[in-house]
Amino acid sequence: MKKTPKRLQPLIRDGIVDEVIKPIMSGKEAEVYLVLSDGQMRCAKVYKDVNKRSFQKAAIYREGRTERNSRRARAMAKRSNYGRREEEDSWQNAEVEALYRLAAAGVRVPKPHGCFDGVLLMDLVADAQGNVAPRLSDVDMSEDTVEDYHQFLLMELVRMLCSGLIHGDLSEYNILVDAQGPVIIDLPQAVDASGNNNAKMIFERDVNNLKKFFGRFNPQILSSNYAAEIWSLYESGNLHPDVKLTGRFKYNNKKANVKEVLEEIEDAREEAKAKERFNAT
């Protein structure tokens, strides 16, 4: 590569990166380069400035994330210049933390090697020939492979959910296929499953994106309902990494007893008033 990208120059000066080989991918929130680091071929993900990113509605994904520094949290809420910079750091760190957590949970994600001034260094995902692995969208698949990959990725999402995370933007474009199979990438928008009010919607969208993609090759997949099945198991506390999925789910169409609900609300109000009177005496 003739000219080293500006954001990668400090990593070369500090000896973190030995050489920048070539750009390999450009996405909506980052550009990825093939680099030589510590004698190994790795990827350097260079995050784009927030003003140049096309990924929108970031606040939906950040909900539920814990911000330990109160000054930083206030600045992010006010959207000041300092707050925007801190928000960017938080966005990038979320991906690093998600990669470490998911790797520990056995999910196939690239192994991270740290984030340095907006550059995430991680293992190269390679095909059987050692070349950069293709996206799932570019892979030719047999009928059996379609079924295998779909089931495998569903179980990866189960493992993610069991570890408390949801990808948040999953599609055939951020799944790579290496010599062993699918590898999930791009996690800066990873969602806290228990702390985000939009978690169910976001999770079901991820699962249904897989259904739509694989359903092009096997129409039977389109009649499945893994999204609702998995989320129901999660909410009931019955989801685990070895769960057996069926793809079927029966919705509860029983109408709510409005009168009973209103009576419970009124009972709760009376109980609260009684406590107030007791505390006042």
Q: What is the mean pLDDT of the chain?
A: 86
Query: Is 67 or 2 the better-scoring residue by pLDDT?
Result: 2
Whole-prediction pTM: 0.79
What whole-number distance in Å separates Cα of residue 267 and Cα of residue 260?
A: 11
**Residue with the two structure tokens 């259904």:** 211
Instruction: Give the burial class of 141: count Cβ atoms within 10 A of its Cβ; 0-12 exposed, 13-18 middle, 19 or more buried.
Output: middle
- Looking at residue 3, what is its pLDDT? 80
In the chain the beta strands, taken as DSSP E runs, fall at: 19-26, 30-37, 40-47, 112-115, 119-123, 165-166, 175-177, 182-184, 191-192
What whole-number distance in Å separates Cα of residue 85 and Cα of residue 225?
A: 40
Given a cut of 70, whether residue 5 has pLDDT beyond it is: yes
Going by pLDDT thresholds of 50, 70 and 90, the confidence category of residue 49 is confident
DSSP 16: S
DSSP 216: T
- Looking at residue 26, what is its pLDDT? 86
- Looking at residue 263, what is its pLDDT? 75
Given a cut of 90, whether residue 118 has pLDDT beyond it is: no
Mean pLDDT across 21-43: 92
Amino acid at the residue 252: N
What whole-number distance in Å separates Cα of residue 54 and Cα of residue 203?
A: 21
- Looking at residue 75, what is its pLDDT? 44
CATH class belonging to 6-235? mainly alpha
Contact call for residues 156 and 203 (beta carbons, < 8 A): no
Query: Is 70 or 62 the better-scoring residue by pLDDT?
Result: 62
- The H-or-E segment that residue 98 falls in is helix 81-104
Mean pLDDT across 185-211: 95
Given a cut of 90, whether residue 233 has pLDDT beyond it is: yes
Query: Is 62 or 217 the better-scoring residue by pLDDT?
Result: 217
- Read off the pLDDT of residues 130-145 as tens digits, 9 standing for 90 and up: 999 999 999 999 999 9
